[in-house]
Amino acid sequence: GESVGLHLPTLSVQEGDNSIINCAYSNSASDYFIWYKQESGKGPQFIIDIRSNMDKRQGQRVTVLLNKTVKHLSLQIAATQPGDSAVYFCAENHILTGGGNKLTFGTGTQLKVEL
Amino acid sequence: NAGVTQTPKFQVLKTGQSMTLQCAQDMNHNSMYWYRQDPGMGLRLIYYSASEGTTDKGEVPNGYNVSRLNKREFSLRLESAAPSQTSVYFCASSLRGGRYRGNQPQHFGDGTRLSIL
């Protein structure tokens, strides 16, 4: 079946270091992926997305890498700050029959930034 | 521009009671979604509405009903609440749907925390 999972449930990094959060997916037909950040008591917040015709996409302090050969996705956060502490989810996008899109989420990785 | 707004933020119900969770978006999005989030299970899709006037079941629709009231509003109803429905409920919307077919991210509200005793 389809699944999207994360390798590490908790990641602790020092402030100023780079963070790498990993994600594996199983559906080789997936063509669109999204990273979300969820802070305590809030809803998931869109960070960055990538389409399967790309292998890298950069945003502000974040980079997403896609390796379709091994069905692996990663989120890199440069110069991690205390405000980056949150749970990070990768999501795999499927187009629904009715025309919307469905996201299949992993269980999330807790990023803790130590001062 | 508030994005996706959910009400109420918190609710406690007794088993067998009914209630409706409200969701509204001001981004002129076509598609709207309801998810539940449980510890260790990520978010799971309950129902979705690809465009105004349509609704479809997601992964876990049992015990729920939805109404796409207009393009802005999408409500989720629990007719007879059960303890297994204790969860955090998120509404989301995306541009996708209608005449727009490209991939687009979903944008989420801040959730309704529902406890059923």
Would the CB atoms of B109 and A107 count as touching at under 8 Å?
Answer: no
Distance CA A54, CA B101 (A): 19
Would the CB atoms of B42 and A106 count as touching at under 8 Å?
Answer: yes
* Residues A60-80 pLDDT 10s: 999 999 999 999 999 999 999
Under 8 Å CB pairs connecting chains A and B tally to 79
Distance CA B107, CA A34 (A): 11
B50 touches chain A (CB under 8 A): yes
* Residues B26-37 pLDDT 10s: 999 999 999 999
Specify whether the CB–CB gap between A52 and A41 falls below 8 A. no
Classify A109 as helix, strand or coil.
Answer: strand
Q: What angle do CA A37, A43, A49 make, to 5 degrees?
A: 40
Residue A25 has pLDDT above 60, yes or no: yes
CB-neighbour burial class of residue A36 (10 A; exposed 0-12, middle 13-18, buried 19+): buried
Closest chain A residue to the Cα of B47, Cα to Cα:
A102
Q: Residue A30: its pLDDT value, please? A: 83
Residue matched to tokens 């955090």: B88
Q: Residue A114: its pLDDT value, please? A: 92
